[in-house]
Chains A and B, each alone.
Chain A
Amino acid sequence: MTEHIDSIRTYTVVLLALLVLTAVTTLVAFVDLGAYSVVVALAIAVCKMLLVALFFMHVRHSTKLTKLVVVGGLLWLLILLMLTLSDFTTRGWLGVPGR
């Protein structure tokens, strides 16, 4: 069994990065970025998710099959979000009477 054991240093650095990103996302929320405030907030959240998944959840050292399942799962989440939003964002476009 080739189990990879990360160093305490690695985990500490990841924790510090997560805490810094939390501070950044909180502070940047008070800056007026217009429509981009959502984009920035979600981009930082995705970075934090990747740090937790890759390092704390050991996806980095996982088998190819596990990696495939993780990516596949996120793909299904995207399908859920995108198909639903493609409905709700386009409902007003055709000007159907009664809407």
Chain B
Amino acid sequence: MASEAETPALQVQFDTEAQQKDASTLGMWIFLITEVMFFGGMFTAYTVYRRAYSDAFAVASASLNVTIGAINTAVLLVSSFTMVMAVRAAQLGQRRMIVLFLVLTLIFGGIFLGVKAYEWNEKFEQHHVPGPSFHLDGVPQQGHAQLFFSLYFAMTGLHAAHMVIGVGLISWLIWLARKGTFTAEYNTPVDMVGLYWHFVDIIWIFLFPLLYLIDRHLPK
């Protein structure tokens, strides 16, 4: 135990590095659970309104580009893979590999956000943004369709905001990793940002089918 106590990264209130790491992991998970409840309110609102206005929601959902959505889902899943590889490199203390995989994660995250920006821009051009100029063909109740797009922008917008924060955190990690902060003994920040990034991935895993896919089979 003497060798562990000498590690500069160990804070005084902890007995061992393992205990310190477990405390960080638990704290991060409790934060993520508050995030689950935060997004949960939106998923609940979506469920309630989709039940109430299912016809308008089906047409509005079908107007989204499913190919782009599926490709973007794949991009985000790959970014989660590169993130977990960065965490693995950190556990093994491979500094160059940490930086490489973090940069790759940043690139895939950037592609996702770029595609999202393209999709949003398309909505503005097609007048699918809730407001005075809103119009969606094939829906008698324009207000119900506006509700779908309000939820679409709120949910994908909040998700994208989390992605932007994640991009910032990963940039910070790259800076620290280049300085040589992370070793096989101390890599908690990489692990915690990894948890955050995967959580954002999981939110998208639910957003994609709920916004893009449900009621696809209905005749147009």
- Chain A residues engaging chain B, CB cutoff 8 angstroms: 1-3, 5-6, 8, 11-12, 14-15, 18-19, 22-23, 25-26, 29-33, 37-38, 41-42, 44-45, 48-49, 52-53, 55-57, 62-63, 65-66, 69-70, 72-74, 76-77, 80-81, 84-85, 88-89
Contact = CB atoms under 8 A, between A and B. Distances in A.
Contacts of B206: 45, 49
Contact of A76 (B16, B37, B43, B80): B37
Contacts of A63: 22, 25-26
Contact of B47 (A29, A32, A85): A85
Contacts of B21: 1, 3
Contact of B37 (A6, A31, A66, A80): A80
Contact of B195 (A32, A57, A88): A57
13 contacts: A14-B81, A15-B78, A18-B80, A23-B70, A25-B208, A32-B217, A38-B214, A49-B202, A49-B206, A56-B83, A63-B26, A70-B29, A72-B33
A66 B191 CA distance: 14
Contacts of B41: 80
B213 A5 contact: no
Interface string B65-100: 010001001100110110111001001100000000
A15 B84 CA distance: 10
B85 A8 contact: yes
Contacts of B80: 15, 18, 52, 56
A62 B36 contact: no
Interface size class of B (residues with CB under 8 A): 35 or more
Given A5-B92, A42-B209, A53 B37 contact: no
B13 interface: no
Given A11-B85, A74-B36, A80-B40, A22 B48 contact: no
B88 A26 contact: no
Nearest to B44: A84
A49 to B, nearest CB: 5
B16 A49 contact: no
Given A1-B21, A45-B209, A84-B44, 4 more contacts: A26-B213, A45-B206, A49-B202, A72-B33
Contacts of A55: 84
A41 B205 CA distance: 10
Contacts of A2: 18
B85 A41 contact: no
Contacts of B208: 22, 25, 45
A29 B37 contact: no
A1 B40 contact: no
A66 B6 CA distance: 27
Contacts of A49: 202, 205-206
Nearest to B66: A26
B198 A11 contact: no
Contact of B77 (A19, A41, A53, A76): A19
A89 B210 CA distance: 19
